Amino acid sequence: LEEAAFQLQQIFRIDISIALNILGVESMRAGHCRVAFTCFRLAADRGYSKAQFNVGLCYEHGRGTEKDLEKAGFYYCQAASSHHPMAQYRYARYLLQHGPGSLWDRRHKAVALLEQAAGAGITEAQAYLGVFYMRGLQPQEERGLKYLLEAANSGDAQSRYHVGICYEQGLGVQQNTEEALRHYQQSAAAGNRQARERLQA
């Protein structure tokens, strides 16, 4: 009986968190940012990862509350620890740009989070890792190209442009001008200005 009561309590807690988060999303859409933030915060404090991510967004962009990157990082971290892929990406970015501790530790943790987010299909994480591995202190061109291709195949025009550069310059792949041209054309067709300029050049 105690176990059943505990399970009901957990379900009720989760349901309340989901409802609060939905209310927050609807309030944000209606332009009631303070109400939205309050709803997100209540659900986040109950441990709901989607709400924790939303609180992080509110703090990062100053929606419904004062802009505070440290608090944004805190909530992204909480959501990331519950395997929320977009929070993993956002927290990784926070660690690389603002996080505490040594740069080496932050970079190591950020890359691990970006890898998880990319594996979960987050296009932004794939694109970020692609460029990161291409331009790092010790470039890993084949690995970088792998992530750029994943992001490009998810519809990211900028990554498609970078794939074109890889084929044009032979970075992580055998140099192939025709293949480079094909990627530039696809990127340009998706609205990428740099790809259009590269085609003209």
Same-domain status, 95 and 157: no
Looking at the structure, tell me whether residues 54 and 7 fall in a common domain.
yes
pLDDT of residue 2: 67
pLDDT attached to residue 3: 66
Q: Which parts of the chain sit beneath pLDDT 50?
A: none
For residues 141 and 92, state if they share a domain: no
- Give the model's pLDDT for residue 103: 80
Specify the pLDDT at position 100.
74
Q: Kindly report the pTM of this predicted structure.
A: 0.84
Asked if the structure places residue 116 within a domain, the reply is no
- What is the Cα–Cα distance from 19 to 42, expressed in whole angstroms? 11
Q: Based on the domain organization, do 100 and 130 belong to the same domain?
A: no
In this predicted model, what pLDDT tens digit does every residue of 109-147 receive, in sequence order?
Answer: 999 999 999 999 999 999 999 999 998 767 899 999 999
pLDDT digits (tens, 9 = 90+) for 147-168: 999 999 999 999 999 999 999 9
What local confidence, expressed as pLDDT, does residue 65 receive?
97
Tell me the residue range of the domain where 21 lies: 1-107
Task: Look at the chain and report how many structural domains it folds into.
Answer: 2
